[in-house]
């Protein structure tokens, strides 16, 4: 018996007697016909009935609507074969693959991702409307790159199992360049001044790289906002953009931009009035006002004030306080009254603190850095501090805190700390190349956050020509629940310093130490510890005089038990790639037991200043080292300070500063001074990417011997007289990159102050250091 088309029966029934309607019956089976590639489960899942259910016209119509709504079928009908419901489908073709031809400006993966968001991807239904939308999306992508003549042709090739291969053939054409940018209506400032504010430019000698001569609407809007901000910061409260015209040449190769502005008049602030609820702390809020009466109105100062007000409200638990600035203008006198209208809203309680994105790091490692607790009043300052502490761990490339209201509880929020894990294993490499083609190399393998515990484990192998070392160290930052850290280090170091006459001698230093760090505030830590080390000197005809003197006093084998006391204050926003903040430390190693008795002091100060809204960063660094012998014993020569190279005075060869003895060996000194300055700027064309930056540097410093050592005429001629007149200085440029194996720095420079005999390395690079 031929199945009856139930859909036809239902259509007729809607126009005729009720007798033509399908009589309800119990479904004995459901059969699907016409399905070639799709999953039967997608059909059965859309049906509003199952075997054993009652079937009627309404359920049949609902089934048709549901199946069409899936978008998988061009046509669907329902036939009845006795008590069997037959679903007959005509599938849409599915996309087997998406290919591109003619791409130059874009990578295939970039366009594939954009098309996937438009519904064009392998396994998706093929639909002409979707293809048309995809073509428009590709053209839109090219428009964002100023390729206005780009053409897209789509080819659909049928393949087996009702599938098609989709190929987009792109003819990119030439990039349209900004031919002219005009700003009219300016009176108080010249057109050239306003044009300098814009990132968009007409073609220049560097625009082939920066691509700032390529028009994009988003870039133009951003530039217009810069102009608006420029005027608002100079009191022009009624500044307005009257029109913006963009004209494309007929050949789509050139673009002209014309912006018409109306400046208005400048206004001077006469007073600042606070209105609203200030929690009885109006003086605290008023002290945070950054707008100065008697000065031109500055939009940035108003923004800074509202932000400070919001932060202060948040510190008292008012997470959603509203602070709205309002101006009262007197056009006759050119004066303005700034009114700050504030409404704190409800005081907020933190219900939960959630951690998201930590695929490696354990929850407790992050939570122990959090200072905002659950079931406590919301505190914006503690939340910011918590975020900063998590970021300082150095385990994450991005850290952000989201505040989400709890449905049905207007006085509660949930905090979600979103982190993005980054590789914490690192390979540290230091190398330098001199004019004599000599290479120095040292390497280390380190693992931060071992197994997600937050602990550190390092194995260092140094193979430089000046130092060789094997060192194993570990740090547990939470040795106790109160945050007391413990650092353990075991090492074996050997040294074969280079001397002028080519003889070889050896030094060996096995040792171990343990150190604890006790946090006293959120940023201050006091360190103390103890160590034990031995010094072995292998004598030969090439041993420097300073080491022979050491042997004559302490013997070939000597022992020391240094005690360590130190203090550090960490206020940088990021210890690896800081943009702002300060770092200070002072550390003293003192050995009062054993053969060698001495004191060794190191002090360091770093500060980073954000410039030009954070786009540039200025960093300064100062380091001072002093060494003294105790109890009428000389200072051990192997504890000397060394200078030169990365981390000290760049351009000079690593560890080459300071005096030499009669054999020509560099012995370092008991005093060291390093002064460094760096100005970081974004790489042209990289936006505000902080992971890759250019920098200019200036370094100064030196290493000096003990003042008791006699100074020869040759020493004075070579800048080794032992006073500040011996300072070396250098300057240059470099590249800083937060690479997957650690922060990398490459520098190239020239000496500004050098003396006869100094070893110069113009190009140097290092992984794993800040200065």
248-268 pLDDT tens trace = 999 888 999 999 999 999 999
CATH class of 349-421: alpha beta
Instruction: Write the secondary structure of 404-463 as one string of H (helix), E (strand) and C (coil).
Output: EEECCEEEEEEEEEEEEECCCEEEEEEEEECCCCCEEEEEEEEECCHHHCCCEEEEEEEE
Separation of CA 164 from chain center:
42
DSSP E strands, 477-634? 485-495, 506-519, 524-538, 557-570, 581-594, 598-611, 616-629
Whether residue 490 is predicted with pLDDT greater than 80 in this model: the reply is yes
Q: Give the bridge partners for 403, in sequence order.
A: 415
Q: Which residues contact 107 (CB under 8 A, 6 or more apart)?
A: none
Q: Are strands 54-55 and 376-377 parallel, antiparallel or unpaired?
A: unpaired
Whether residue 458 is predicted with pLDDT greater than 50 in this model: the reply is yes
- CATH fold, domain 94-171, is Ubiquitin-like (UB roll) (3.10.20)
Whether residue 2 is predicted with pLDDT greater than 60 in this model: the reply is no
Architecture of the CATH domain 177-262: Roll (3.10)
Q: Is 228 helix (H, G, I), strand (E, B) or coil?
A: helix
Whether residue 379 is predicted with pLDDT greater than 70 in this model: the reply is yes
d(CA 319, CA 210): 41
The CA-based angle 524-529-534, given to 5 degrees, is 140
Q: Which of 190-199, 385-394, 534-543 has the lowest mean pLDDT?
A: 534-543
Whether residue 466 is predicted with pLDDT greater than 70 in this model: the reply is no
Phi-psi region of 674 (alpha: psi -120 to 50; beta: other; left: phi over 0): beta
Residue 708, CA distances (Å) to 597, 711, 720, 767 in order: 18, 9, 14, 38
DSSP class of residue 195?
H
Q: Give the bridge partners for 132, in sequence order.
A: none
For residue 304, count CB atoms less than 10 angstroms from its CB and return exposed for 0-12, middle for 13-18, buried for 19 or more: middle
81-125 pLDDT tens trace = 888 999 998 887 788 888 998 888 888 888 888 788 777 888 777
d(CA 217, CA 219): 5
Query: Angle 108-116/128-143 helices, nearest 10 degrees?
Result: 130
Mean pLDDT, to the nearest integer, of 283-295?
A: 95
Mean pLDDT, to the nearest integer, of 171-180?
A: 88
CATH 3.10.20.310 domain position(s) in the chain: 4-91, 94-171, 177-262, 268-343, 349-421
- CATH fold, domain 268-343, is Ubiquitin-like (UB roll) (3.10.20)
Most confidently predicted of 455-469, 630-644, 712-726: 630-644
d(CA 257, CA 245): 6
CATH class of 425-767: mainly beta
- Least Cα distance to 159 among 237, 94, 212 occurs for 94
- Which structure tokens are listed for 93? 């073709």
Residue 460, CA distances (Å) to 153, 427, 468, 472 in order: 57, 10, 10, 7
Percent of the chain with pLDDT over 90: 51
Most confidently predicted of 120-134, 291-305, 630-644, 684-698: 291-305
d(CA 453, CA 360): 9
Helix (H) or strand (E) run with residue 87 in it: strand 84-91
Mean pLDDT, to the nearest integer, of 543-569?
A: 85
Model pLDDT, residue 75: 87
CATH class of 4-91: alpha beta
Model pLDDT, residue 185: 94
**Burial letters 144-166, b for 16+ CB under 10 A, else e:** ebbbbebebeeeeeeeeebbbbb
Mean pLDDT, to the nearest integer, of 197-216?
A: 86
d(CA 771, CA 618): 12
d(CA 335, CA 337): 7
């Amino acid at each position: 018996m031929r199945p009856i088309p139930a859909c036809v029966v239902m259509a007729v029934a809607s126009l005729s007697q009720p007798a033509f309607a399908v009589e309800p019956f119990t479904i004995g089976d459901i059969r699907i016909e016409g399905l070639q590639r799709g999953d039967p489960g997608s059909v059965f899942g859309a049906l509003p009935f199952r075997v054993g259910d009652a079937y009627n016209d309404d359920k049949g119509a609902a089934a048709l609507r549901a199946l069409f709504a899936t978008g998988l079928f061009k046509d669907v009908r329902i036939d009845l074969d006795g008590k069997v419901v037959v679903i007959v489908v005509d599938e849409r073709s599915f996309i087997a693959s998406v290919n591109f031809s003619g791409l130059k400006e874009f990578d295939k993966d970039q366009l594939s991702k954009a098309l996937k968001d438009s519904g064009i991807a392998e396994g998706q239904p093929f639909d002409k409307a979707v293809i048309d939308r995809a073509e428009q999306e590709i053209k839109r992508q090219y428009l964002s790159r100023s390729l206005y003549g780009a053409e897209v042709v789509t080819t659909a090739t049928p393949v087996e199992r009702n599938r098609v291969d989709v190929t987009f053939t792109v003819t990119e054409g030439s990039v349209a360049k900004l031919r002219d940018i005009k700003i009219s209506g300016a009176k108080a400032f010249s057109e050239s001044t306003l044009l300098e504010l814009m990132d968009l430019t007409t073609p220049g000698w560097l625009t082939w790289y920066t691509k700032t001569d390529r028009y994009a609407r988003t870039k133009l809007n951003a530039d217009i906002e810069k102009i608006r901000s420029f005027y608002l910061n100079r009191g022009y409260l009624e500044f307005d953009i009257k029109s913006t015209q963009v004209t494309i040449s007929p050949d789509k190769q050139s673009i002209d931009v014309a912006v018409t502005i109306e400046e208005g008049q400048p206004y001077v602030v006469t007073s600042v009035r606070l209105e609203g609820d200030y929690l009885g702390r109006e003086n605290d809020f008023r002290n945070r006002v950054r707008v100065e009466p008697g000065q031109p109105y500055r939009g940035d100062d108003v923004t800074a004030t509202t932000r400070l007000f919001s932060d202060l409200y948040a510190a008292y638990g008012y997470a959603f306080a509203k602070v709205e600035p309002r101006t009262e203008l007197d056009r006759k006198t050119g004066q303005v009254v700034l009114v700050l209208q504030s409404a704190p809203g409800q005081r907020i309680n933190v219900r939960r603190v959630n951690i998201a994105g930590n695929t490696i790091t354990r929850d407790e490692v992050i939570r122990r850095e959090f200072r905002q607790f659950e079931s406590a009043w919301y505190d914006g300052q503690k939340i910011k501090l918590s975020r900063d502490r998590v970021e300082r761990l150095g385990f994450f490339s991005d850290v952000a805190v989201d505040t989400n209201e709890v449905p049905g509880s207007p006085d509660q929020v949930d905090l979600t700390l979103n982190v993005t894990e980054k590789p914490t294993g690192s390979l540290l490499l230091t190398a330098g190349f001199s004019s004599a083609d000599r290479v120095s190399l040292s390497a280390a393998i380190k693992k931060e956050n071992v197994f997600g515990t937050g602990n550190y484990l390092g194995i260092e192998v140094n193979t430089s020509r000046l130092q060789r070392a094997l060192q194993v160290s570990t740090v547990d930052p939470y040795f106790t629940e109160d945050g007391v850290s413990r650092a353990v280090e075991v090492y074996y170091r050997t040294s074969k310093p280079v001397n002028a006459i080519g003889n070889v001698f050896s030094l060996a230093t096995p040792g171990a130490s343990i150190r604890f760090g006790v946090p006293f505030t959120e940023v201050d830590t006091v360190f103390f510890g103890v160590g034990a080390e031995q010094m072995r000197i292998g004598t030969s005809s090439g041993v420097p005089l300073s080491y022979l003197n050491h042997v004559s006093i302490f013997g070939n084998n000597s022992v020391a038990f240094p005690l360590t006391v130190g203090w550090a204050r960490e206020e940088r926003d990021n210890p690896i790639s800081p943009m702002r903040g300060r770092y200070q430390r002072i550390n003293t190693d003192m050995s009062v037991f054993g053969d060698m008795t001495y004191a060794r002091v190191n002090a360091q100060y770093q500060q980073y200043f954000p410039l030009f809204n954070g786009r540039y960063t200025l960093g300064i660094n100062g380091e001072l080292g002093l060494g003294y012998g105790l109890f009428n014993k000389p200072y051990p020569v192997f504890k000397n300070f060394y200078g030169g190279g990365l981390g000290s005075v760049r351009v000079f060869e690593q560890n080459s500063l300071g005096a030499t003895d009669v054999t020509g060996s560099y012995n370092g000194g008991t005093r060291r001074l390093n002064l460094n300055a760096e100005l970081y700027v974004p790489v042209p064309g990289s936006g505000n990417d902080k992971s890759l930056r250019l920098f200019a540097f200036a370094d100064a410093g030196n290493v000096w011997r003990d003042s008791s050592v006699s100074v020869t005429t040759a020493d004075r001629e070579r800048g080794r007289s032992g006073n500040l007149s011996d300072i070396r200085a250098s300057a240059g440029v470099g590249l800083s990159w937060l690479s997957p194996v650690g922060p990398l720095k490459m520098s190239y420079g020239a000496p500004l102050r050098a003396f006869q005999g100094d070893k110069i390395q113009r190009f140097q690079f290092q992984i794993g250091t800040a200065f």
